[in-house]
Amino acid sequence: MNIQTVGIIGAGQMGNGIAHVFATSGFDVSLNDISQDALTSAMSRIEKNTARQVSKSQMSEANRAAALSRISTTTELGELGGCDLVIEAATERESIKDQIFSGLAPSLADHTLLATNTSSLSITRLAAKTDRPERFMGVHFMNPVPLMELVELIRGIATSETTYQTMLGVVERLNKTSASAEDYPGFIVNRILIPMINEAVYALYEGVGNVASIDASMKLGAHHPMGPLELGDFIGLDTCLAIMNVLHDGLADTKYRPCPLLVKYVEAGWVGRKCGQGFYDYRGETPVPTR
């Protein structure tokens, strides 16, 4: 199947990044959100990020203008129904995703493929609640989308080979690399990454080290580009906790128990960069550890 028109649901950090890479790869994009302010903010970010690419000679000004012209925005979910591919990139809550796919169903064209950018939820379960489980799969982009090379492709139990092969081709057109994962909680990346962050929080909770020493140890001792606590703040501690809960509930293993300190930070609303405070305080010129 030839994919040319792509609908993206959710104009947040992931949604606007996905819109960016599709538009700059020649796809026609319709970006949807319930908030017009979110759409305006998303377009502003895409304009800023593409301008940066031009300044770094990664894109010509003509190609930038063409890419921006390929993006339209809408608050009406039904307007995405005729797209060749619709990708849901909303909040990582299954009830919200179910509601979105249910609301989209009446307007969907027969040929439309559905995908979710979920980072941990069951593809099979999400697909089973739609009218086209064979044309549904997980397409998990990494954050920040324009910079990260990997896309996880996750088939549900009913996903057809045609749908899978089509999405392999889409990822290739985006000039990214696909990694195929089985439909288990967390897939590959978050099955490994988020428990590492959770273990770093345990190390902090138990007094093994402070924020600065834990992050410095992993950056300098394991050559990680970001320390695990800094990375947790970047991802969003609420997202990290949600994924840990999915792993703990889905795999029923105590090694996936969320650290009580992670729970406490989320309960306090200290969820990382997006709110200005997490394991670091970002409200000044330089991030300052909070513990």
Residue appearing with tokens 């990214």: 176
The pLDDT of residue 184: 95
- Type of residue numbered 231: L
The residues near 61 (Cβ < 8 Å, ≥ 6 apart) are 54
Known catalytic residue at 47:
no
Domain extent listing, the chain: 5-182, 191-289
Distances in Å between the alpha carbon of 180 and those of 103, 150, 200?
29, 10, 28
Known catalytic residue at 35:
no
Fold of 191-289: N-(1-d-carboxylethyl)-l-norvaline Dehydrogenase; domain 2 (1.10.1040)
The pLDDT of residue 1: 81
- Architecture of the 5-182 domain: 3-Layer(aba) Sandwich (3.40)
Candidate list 30, 117, 120, 140, residue with the active-site label:
140
- What is the rounded distance in angstroms from the CA atom of residue 257 to the CA atom of residue 168? 34
Q: What is the pTM of this model?
A: 0.91
Candidate list 16, 30, 32, 119, residue with the active-site label:
119
The pLDDT of residue 92: 87
| Secondary structure element (H or E) that encloses residue 281, with its range | strand 280-281
Known catalytic residue at 140:
yes
The pLDDT of residue 8: 98
Write out the binding residues for NAD(+): 10-15, 33, 92, 97, 119, 143, 274
User: What tokens appear for 43 in the block?
Assistant: 């377009």
- What is the rounded distance in angstroms from the CA atom of residue 7 to the CA atom of residue 114? 9
Three-state secondary structure readout of 98-161:
HHHHHHHHHHCCCCCEEEECCCCCCHHHHHHCCCCHHHEEEEEECCCCCCCCEEEEEECCCCCH
- Relative to beta strand 85-88, strand 113-116 is parallel
Q: What is the mean pLDDT of each run of 10 residues along the chain (291 residues)?
A: 95 96 98 96 97 96 97 97 97 93 96 96 96 98 95 98 98 97 95 98 98 98 97 95 95 97 98 96 95 93
Known catalytic residue at 57:
no
Candidate list 32, 117, 120, 190, residue with the active-site label:
190
- Type of residue numbered 74: T
Candidate list 20, 32, 117, 152, residue with the active-site label:
152
- What is the rounded distance in angstroms from the CA atom of residue 19 to the CA atom of residue 162? 24
Residue appearing with tokens 């320390």: 227
User: What tokens appear for 187 in the block?
Assistant: 């897939």
* Contact status, residue 176 vs residue 142, Cβ threshold 8 Å: no
Write out the binding residues: 10-15, 33, 92, 97, 119, 143, 274
